[in-house]
Amino acid sequence: MSSPPSPTAPRPGSSARESDVASIPFTSGTTLAPKGVPLTHGNLLSDVRALVEVVGVTCEDEFLCVLPLYHVLGFTGSFLAALSVGATVTFLERLTPKALLEAMQATGTSVVIAVPRLLILIVKAIQSRVDSSPRSVQRMFALLLRLARGCRRCGRFTRGLRAALFRQVHRRFGGRLRLLVSGGAALPGEVYDLLDLMGFAVCEGYGLTETSPVLTLNPPSRPRRGTVGPAIPGVEVKIVDPEPDGIGEVLVKGPCVFSGYFEDEEATRRAFRDGWFRTSDLGRLDRDGHLILAGRADDMIVTGGGKNVYPVEVEYLYRDLPQVKELCIVGVPDSASAGEAVWAVIARDDTEGPPTETWKREVESAVSAISRQLPPHQRVRGVHFWEGELPRTSTLKVKRKQVRERLRSAGGTRPPVGDG
């Protein structure tokens, strides 16, 4: 694999070539020191062109940029893609629910590209407003949700009708919001469901800093819950060394993929396999080519019985724990089985007050009840209650290695949860 191009700037008055380096963002360094990622003009432009094609962006769109521009998704998706078609971009001085709503109403925002945490805030704001409304409003909202579920069962072409049912909610968001794109981490299913029921188009995508960043994206006309969509135009995705369930390492190739790390030939060599970039993510492709992610390769838990456990899948299975703000599944060495045991690290929803022993017992009881319905290798064997927020990278991914190390050294860990 060739070394990355030299980051030289074009001379004044000359035109930049697509092979010239445009930007060198650095990876967030969850497990190793951050690495420089030279992205060329060609890398970024190929991603922009594909995004514009998939999303259907036009000069009539109003983008609200809620990600910092050092976040490649914000830079490419919210900034460059908008500029490429002459759309308008609005930047917020501060990111709060109040400022978000005011900006959307003032600008008539039509497209928001965000990380799941922002969409979670939007859903919480909606639910909080409903919960604080008179009982008659709460009953009406529940009725509209039931009607929307009935509409959705009739097919995906009922989004306009669902949006009409919740026109008051759409007006609060400016009345023109046609697309919410989520990337950077897994979007909770319940967040997707509520936004989709209310007629918002929610499209999950996937990518990395090294890929400019978007690799796959659900098309707005037919998003598929639980997947990050098919490959965007020009990108190839394949799964190598799959397990019997089809899950293996995700490898990619395409014009948006960088050529190597800045001044790090060894890291570059490890990052590629026969010309394909190794994402270090695990996943599988469904029958229609939509990618379903299962987590990072270095986060995979291997039990004493040789079973592979994917933290993202287990987190989804335990998603409905009471008053839980954050849940992180990690593997902890288990001397009894000579493998790893599945543990849950849980942070309480701070809006519900400080953690109490009663709440901890309720959570453990809920964990046990869910565990009884799961195969043994996916059952949570112990719970650790985390004070404050879980550590995250600059792109808001949980630092599982840091969580795992703290868990292993923690003295206040709860006893293992029984199988029931």
Instruction: Say what the pLDDT of residue 299 is.
Output: 83
Give CA 26 to chain center in angstroms. 19
The DSSP 8-state label assigned to residue 96 in this structure reads -
Distance CA 310, CA 329 (A): 9
- Token pair belonging to 363: 């959570």
pTM over 0.85? The answer is no
Q: Are 327 and 346 in contact (CB under 8 A)?
A: yes
Distance CA 272, CA 61 (A): 37
Distance CA 361, CA 323 (A): 12
Distance CA 75, CA 208 (A): 13
Residues in the chain: 420
Instruction: Say what the pLDDT of residue 23 is.
Output: 95
Beta bridge partners of 179: 111
CATH 3.30.300.30 in the chain, residues?
Answer: 300-409
Distance CA 181, CA 53 (A): 14
DSSP, residue by residue, 137-154: HHHHHHHHHHHHHHHHHT
Distance CA 295, CA 283 (A): 7
CATH 1.10.3720.10 for domain 300-409, yes or no, is no
382-385 and 236-240: which strand pairing? unpaired
Distance CA 62, CA 76 (A): 15
Which residue blocks in 265-416 are alpha helix, DSSP H? 265-271, 311-317, 357-371, 400-409
The DSSP 8-state label assigned to residue 259 in this structure reads S
CA-wise closest residue to 219 among 28, 337, 95, 51:
51
CATH 3.40.50.12780 in the chain, residues?
Answer: 1-295
Backbone angles phi, psi at 154, to 5 degrees: -80, -10
202-207 and 179-182: which strand pairing? parallel
- Token pair belonging to 150: 């009935």
Reported CATH class of domain 1-295 = alpha beta
Distance CA 105, CA 174 (A): 4
The DSSP 8-state label assigned to residue 328 in this structure reads E
Q: Are 110 and 57 in contact (CB under 8 A)?
A: no
**CB neighbour list of residue 97: distance below 8 Å, 6 or more residues apart:** 121, 122, 125
Average pLDDT per 10 consecutive residues for the chain, totaling 420 residues: 48 76 79 80 97 96 92 94 96 84 94 88 87 94 95 83 94 94 86 94 95 96 93 97 90 98 92 94 94 84 78 88 90 76 89 84 94 92 89 77 80 45
